[in-house]
Amino acid sequence: MKIIGTGSALPKKVLTNDMLSGIVETSDEWIRTRTGIRERRVLSDETLTDLALEAARKSVESAGVNASDIDYIMCHNVCNDAMTPSLAAMINKELGANCPTVDLNAACTGFIYALDMADSLMKTGKARNILIVCAEQPSHFVDWTQRETCVLFGDAVGAVVVTQSDDDCFFKMSTQYTDALYCSDAWHDTPFQKCKKENNFLYMRGRDVFRMAVTNCCKDIKYVFEKSGISSSEVSYFLLHQANLRILEAVRHEMNVAEDKFPMNLDKYGNTSSASIPLLMDELNKAGKLHRGDLLVLSAFGAGFTSGAGVIKW
């Protein structure tokens, strides 16, 4: 399987650290030094579905295929505009692809889960061209009175088209339970069951998440190297989930990788959950920095605690 097209879409509204200091007690200095984030985008006039469609169209165009050539659409989102139908079904309708659709949720690791599932569908001959759209709106489930979480995230969509090819790719996923990062849903009471009236904003114990993120990324990448027989020197880029500059730097140092192989854009967008890797990939693609045959190592982590890594040829 290989990636043949990329696309992304961002909300228009830019929210800088200084603007955030008018909402919660924080400062540009605190956010920058603890996370590396300077600004992020948040949805205001547009909807997530609008942006998902825009990114989907751009990735199909960049792949040089028609919507009718897409034979599976997978979306990843933690929080969609509608509980049902799925976002993938909405995109299918607007694109006119007329193919099977499904939404996944593996938190910020979602893009790697989607690639792994796409690879399996191709290997069983069930699909040839798959559109993957990672669309996230954390601004709708962080508590805007809690400085610990609301400063970290941003809304965005990243999309890719993957196609069947002889190029090998390899993915490794894992989940280990933690209550350090979760978000409850706001269900309604039924005549038979009362719902727990828990706070339904994102809950996070930052330091625990930080430790698990660094440990899992390093472990996953090492495992991928061992199983695929690829060495670090053969890799063109390490594309990691853009959560925090200090997490990324800790992984980079542990893996002994040069800075120029570790692209980052979290200063502009914050943590955009599963959209962060395809968004970064689209930026590199547009900048002409990806060349056919380049080996890309991907690694991500998120609530669950899910984590995953993989290697794929561009």
Query: What are the catalytic residues?
Result: 108, 241, 271
Residues that bind ligand COA (CB under 6 A): 26, 30-31, 34-35, 108, 147-148, 151-152, 204, 206-207, 209-210, 213, 243-244, 271, 301-302
Question: In this complex, which beta carbon is closest to ligand COA, that of residue 133 or of residue 247?
Answer: 247
Of 63 and 280, the one with the shorter C-beta distance to ligand COA is 280
| Cβ at position 24, least distance to ligand COA in Å | 7
Query: Which residue's CB atom is positioned nearest to ligand COA?
Result: 206
- Asked if residue 147 lies in contact with residue 27, where contact means CB atoms within 8 angstroms, the answer is no
Phi, psi of 199 (to 5 degrees): -60, 130
The Cβ of residue 273 has, within 10 Å, a number of other Cβ atoms equal to 31
What is the smallest separation between the CB atom of 262 and ligand COA, expressed in angstroms?
16
Q: Which two tokens stand for residue 35?
A: 């996370």
- Residues 133, 149: contact at Cβ < 8 Å? no
| Number of CB atoms found within 10 A of residue 4's CB | 19
Q: What is the DSSP letter of 64?
A: T
Nearer to ligand COA among residue 9 and residue 209 (C-beta): 209
CB of 39 to ligand COA, least distance (A): 14
Name which of 2 and 262 has its Cβ closer to ligand COA: 262
To the nearest whole angstrom, how small is the minimum distance from the Cβ of residue 102 to ligand COA? 22
Q: Is the dihedral of CA 35, 36, 38, 41 positive or negative?
A: negative
Q: Please, are residues 232 and 292 in contact by the beta-carbon 8 Å criterion?
A: no
